[in-house]
Homo-oligomer: A and B are copies of this chain.
Amino acid sequence: MKDARKIKDLLYEQVARIGKVFSSPKRLELIELLCQGEKTVEALANEASISVKLTSAHLRELRMAQLVETERQGKNIYYRLANKSVADLWVQVHTLAEDRLVDLQLALQRIADQPDDLIANDRDSLMKAARKGEVVVIDVRPSEEYLNAHLPFARSIPIDELRQRLSELPKDRAIVAYCRGPYCLMAVDAVTLLKKEGYSAIHLREGVAEWDAAQKI
């Protein structure tokens, strides 16, 4: 059976097509953005700070690996993840990275002012507190992303509007802010602003994708 080798090579090659998608930083960023809901090429390019052309090229890779679907709506072409398990895989990849790579751990620690992990470990108690109204959970992503999906009991206050809408928030309870995930800095900024204004604010590292992936394990 000499061709057993050929068959195996073919199989692993196919799987590597998926792995390849997750091997480029910019593609990872695009995947994380797509975890927040469908987006146009231009929107993705802006968010990821790369040219539309390059974005299109990366999205082509995603399309060829069958990980995204496209749909034309008027002038624009919207991309979305083909499957929820793509988001789950993204979460598992970055979780493993955070687990194994010291450099990444250090970089993440430098971003957020420490003790915000007490919550990530403890989803149930956060939900209980949110349900009872003991804490206020705010989603600081753009409102379209909130509408697409959000954590239970979360209120939408996009980071751009936060300063003007501070009066909506109570000062006697903790404000928990989250955004797209651990690599999105919007929640960090929100917490910084809130603290400066005298609120007791907590940064939740997880986004909707991380939350969902954690729920089902």
| Chain A residues within 8 Å of B, Cβ to Cβ | 1, 4-5, 7-26, 28-29, 49, 65-67, 82-83, 85-86, 88-89, 92-97, 99-104, 107-108, 111, 182-183, 185, 189, 216-217
Chain B residues whose C-beta falls within 8 Å of the C-beta of A10 in the assembled complex: 107
Q: What's the Cα separation between A147 and B89 when bound, in Å?
A: 30
Q: Which of A4, A92, A100 has the most CB of B within 10 A?
A: A100
Contact across chains for A26 and B12 when beta carbons are under 8 A apart: yes
List 25 interface pairs A-B (beta carbons < 8 Å), by A numbering.
A1-B185, A7-B185, A8-B183, A8-B185, A10-B107, A11-B182, A11-B183, A12-B26, A12-B28, A15-B25, A15-B93, A15-B183, A16-B22, A17-B101, A18-B93, A65-B100, A65-B101, A66-B100, A66-B101, A66-B102, A67-B100, A82-B100, A83-B99, A85-B99, A92-B92
Contact across chains for B11 and A108 when beta carbons are under 8 A apart: yes
Chain A interface SS verdict (over half)? helix
Chain B residues whose C-beta falls within 8 Å of the C-beta of A189 in the assembled complex: 1
Chain B residues whose C-beta falls within 8 Å of the C-beta of A66 in the assembled complex: 100-102
Contact across chains for B104 and A15 when beta carbons are under 8 A apart: yes
Q: What's the Cα separation between A101 and B17 when bound, in Å?
A: 9
Contact across chains for B101 and A96 when beta carbons are under 8 A apart: no
Q: What's the Cα separation between A92 and B211 when bound, in Å?
A: 18
Q: What's the Cα separation between A104 and B85 when bound, in Å?
A: 17
Chain B residues whose C-beta falls within 8 Å of the C-beta of A28 in the assembled complex: 12, 15-16, 19
Top 6 A-B residue pairs of the complex, sorted by shortest distance between their CB atoms: A19-B22, A12-B25, A23-B23, A14-B104, A66-B100, A19-B23
Q: Decide yes or no: A97 and B18 within 8 Å by CB, A7-B111, A11-B107 being known contacts.
A: yes
Chain B residues whose C-beta falls within 8 Å of the C-beta of A11 in the assembled complex: 104, 107-108, 182-183
